[in-house]
């Protein structure tokens, strides 16, 4: 029941941000969500006994979302900055992990939400599709996995997931994506939407497993407790953070 009630509150808010909010308000809302996700990410980093450099990370994340810069330049500068901060690690045997955790978190969280801003500028329908794909797919995976699942997808990371559920997720999400974009943007070629939807769903499922691996490494069940029935913000959007950049990438040569 908590899960349903949380969804009933979040869904109208998300739709309002995507379709009705002025650009400045949408930016503030996405920055706030990104900051909450980053806070939960830093809690995982701290649970692994690594320094977080939180104030610096938030500041760079704000710049990443607000200032357009070439992607290669951003990634290179972040790695350099992370390696410089790792010089302050109390145990230098953790310097590589410290640099990696710092750079990864900013690109993973703030970089992912930056692509949400880009998708919203192209069309809020693309942003909604990128977010909803794995929500639809998760429901299909749960139903098919519970009733027909036999082969485990990633037993060490997520014992409940099955290959049958994963395939159902791809198929259902792809059908949803094609139907939605055909309705919302009827002039866009359906076969391109099919490729985008399928690729984004696969990416989202990988994102879900990747965040589960981080939690297992940190020995925690959920990334947070702010969303009753869902865990933390990062638990709710782990798939979306992988799906949105893939949608943006595949739209790039066609937009």
Question: What phi and psi, each to the nearest 5 degrees, are found at residue 22?
Answer: -65, 160
**H-type helices in 123-157, by residue range?**
124-148
The structural domain count of the chain equals: 1
pLDDT per position as a tens digit, 1-34: 555 556 556 777 778 888 888 999 999 999 999 9
- Across the chain, which distance is largest between two alpha carbons, in Å? 57
The shares of helix, strand and coil residues in the chain, as percent rounded to the nearest 5, are 80, 5, 15
Lowest mean pLDDT among 128-142, 163-177, 223-237: 223-237
Q: 81-104: per-residue pLDDT in tens?
A: 888 888 877 777 888 899 999 999
Beta bridge partners of 68: none
- Spatial separation of the C-alpha atoms in residues 35 and 38, rounded to whole Å: 5
Average pLDDT over the chain, rounded to whole?
89
Q: Which of 179, 178, 151 is nearest to 165 (CA)?
A: 151
Q: Do residues 242 and 204 lie in contact, with contact meaning Cβ atoms separated by under 8 Å?
A: yes
Residue 222 is predicted with a pLDDT of 86
**Could you tell me which of 233, 199, 191 has the C-alpha nearest to residue 130?**
199
Which of 76-80, 135-139, 179-183, 236-240 tops mean pLDDT? Answer: 179-183
Lowest mean pLDDT among 51-60, 193-202, 229-238: 229-238
Query: How far is it, in rounded angstroms, from Cα 72 to Cα 128?
Result: 27
Model pLDDT for residues 123-143, shown as the tens digit of each residue: 999 999 999 998 899 999 999
Domain containing 213: what range?
2-254
Q: With bands split at pLDDT 50, 70 and 90, how would you rate the model's confidence at 172?
A: very high
The arithmetic mean of pLDDT across residues 64-72, rounded, is: 81
149's CB contacts (< 8 A; 6+ apart) are 162, 163, 164, 165
User: Strands 152-154 and 158-162: what pairing?
Assistant: antiparallel
Q: How far apart are CA 61 and CA 82, in angstroms?
A: 13
Residue 36 has a pLDDT of: 95
Best CA proximity match to 21, nearest among 30, 32, 34, 10: 30
Contact 132, 244 (CB under 8 A): no
Query: Which one-letter DSSP state was computed for residue 106?
Result: I
């Amino acid at each position: 029941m908590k899960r349903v009630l949380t969804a009933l509150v979040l869904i109208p808010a998300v739709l309002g941000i995507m379709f009705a909010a002025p650009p400045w308000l949408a930016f503030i809302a996405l920055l706030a969500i990104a900051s909450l996700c980053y806070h939960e990410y830093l809690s995982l980093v701290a649970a692994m006994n690594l320094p977080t450099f939180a104030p610096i990370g938030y500041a760079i994340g704000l710049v990443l979302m607000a200032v357009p810069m070439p992607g290669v330049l951003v990634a290179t500068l972040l790695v350099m900055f992370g390696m410089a901060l790792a010089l302050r690690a109390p145990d230098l045997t953790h310097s590589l992990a410290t640099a990696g955790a710092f750079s990864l978190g900013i690109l993973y969280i703030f970089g992912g939400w930056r692509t949400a801003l880009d998708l919203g500028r192209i069309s809020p329908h693309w942003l909604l599709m990128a977010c909803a794909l794995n929500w639809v797919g998760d429901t299909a995976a749960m139903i098919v996995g519970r009733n027909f699942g036999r082969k485990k997808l990633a037993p060490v990371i997520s014992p409940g997931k099955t290959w049958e559920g994963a395939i159902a997720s791809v198929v259902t999400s792809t059908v949803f994506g094609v139907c939605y974009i055909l309705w919302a943007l009827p002039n866009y070629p359906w076969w391109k939407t099919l490729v985008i939807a399928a690729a984004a769903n696969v990416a989202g499922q990988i994102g879900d497993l990747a965040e589960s691996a981080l939690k297992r490494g940190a020995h925690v069940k959920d990334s947070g407790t702010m969303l009753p029935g869902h865990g933390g913000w990062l638990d709710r959007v782990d798939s979306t953070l992988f799906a949105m950049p893939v949608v943006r990438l595949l739209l790039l040569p066609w937009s």
